[in-house]
A = this chain, B = another copy of it.
């Protein structure tokens, strides 16, 4: 039998699905408690039919005022955002929003573990990059700097995460290494 290499293309999984599955694995194993936040919705009108559940009849998607993922690992606060790009040589900063950056800066000041998970879809590579690297590119951008983080920089300063079966994206391993010296 032929064991295929695990790639996003042949698995048909999004980065978000992989992270959710990894978080579920961590939770069941008692390793960490990390969840994706619900998508925020602005509710405009709700029907309350008799004898059945309330139905939302008009609502709009709102932008998350924080990052999508947070939780606890070994007592420490963990907070991150996950993004994918079709680009090959750099990660465009337009994938991030001002309020997400502000949130991550606030978390960083509070000594939370804060990072981004970046996926280059074409080559099917995932990197763990500490938030402070994102901050410096973000802040430079407004002073006329470049609008993306070079892949070369991400390879040098970030940590590659190879895709496995369970957990699919083992980002706790990187946290162990950087923050707990394990």
Shortest A43–chain B CB gap in Å is 8
Contact B33 A112 (CB under 8 A): yes
Most buried by B among A30, A56, A60: A56
- Stoichiometry, copies per complex: 2
Most buried by B among A27, A33, A109, A112: A33
Complex CA gap A62/B39 in Å reads 12
42-64 of chain A: CB within 8 A of chain B: 43, 53-62, 64
Contact A107 B35 (CB under 8 A): no
Q: How many residues of A contact B (CB 8 A)?
A: 41
A70 within 8 A of B: yes
Q: Which residue of B lies closest to A79 (CB)?
A: B72
Contact A35 B111 (CB under 8 A): no
Contact A38 B35 (CB under 8 A): no
